[in-house]
Structure 1
Amino acid sequence: MLCYHHIVMDGISLRTFLGDLNQSYISPGVSQPASQYLDYAIAEREQLKGQAIKDDLECWKEQFETPVDCLPLLPFSRVQSRPFLSISESFTAHAFIKKETVARVKECSRQSGSTSFHFYAAALQVLFFQLLNSSNIHVRGPRAL
Structure 2
Amino acid sequence: MLCYLHIVTDGISLRTFLGDLNQSYVSPGVSQPASQYLDYAIAESKQLKGQAIKDDLKYWKQQFETPVDCLPLLPFSRVQSRPPLSISKSFTARAFIKKETVARVKECSRQSGSASFHFYAAALQNIHVRGPRAL
Separation (CA, whole Å) in 2 of partners of 1:5 and 1:11: 12
**Contact 1:105 1:116 survives alignment (8 Å):** yes
Separation (CA, whole Å) in 2 of partners of 1:72 and 1:65: 21
Q: Which has the higher contact order (CA 8 A, sep 6+)?
A: 2
Shift of 1:72: 3.0
Shift of 1:106: 0.6
What SS does the corresponding residue of 1:142 show, helix, strand or coil? helix
Pick closer, same or farther for the CA change 1:11–1:69 going to 2, 3 Å: closer
Separation (CA, whole Å) in 1 of partners of 2:116 and 2:7: 35
Shift of 1:60: 15
**Contact 1:109 1:116 survives alignment (8 Å):** yes
Q: Which runs of 5+ in 1 are unaligned?
A: 126-135
Q: Which runs of 5+ in 2 are unaligned?
A: none
Identity of aligned residues (%): 91
- The TM-score normalised by the length of structure 2 is 0.40
Pick closer, same or farther for the CA change 1:52–1:5 going to 2, 3 Å: closer
Cα offsets for 1:45-72 (capped at 9, x unmatched): 9999999999999999999999997543
Shift of 1:121: 0.6
Shift of 1:76: 3.6
Shift of 1:81: 1.1
Q: Report which stretch shifted further, 44-53 or 69-78.
A: 44-53
Cα offsets for 1:99-124 (capped at 9, x unmatched): 11000001111111111111111001
Separation (CA, whole Å) in 2 of partners of 1:58 and 1:40: 24
The equivalent residue for 2:23 is 23
Q: Higher helix fraction: Structure 1 or Structure 2? A: 2
What SS does the corresponding residue of 2:117 show, helix, strand or coil? helix
Report how many aligned residue pairs link the two structures.
Answer: 135
Spell out structure 1 runs of 4+ moving beyond 6 A. 1-69, 136-145
Pick closer, same or farther for the CA change 1:44–1:92 going to 2, 3 Å: farther
Pick closer, same or farther for the CA change 1:79–1:119 going to 2, 3 Å: same
Q: Report which stretch shifted further, 17-26 or 76-85.
A: 17-26
| RMSD (Å) for aligned C-alpha atoms | 11.8
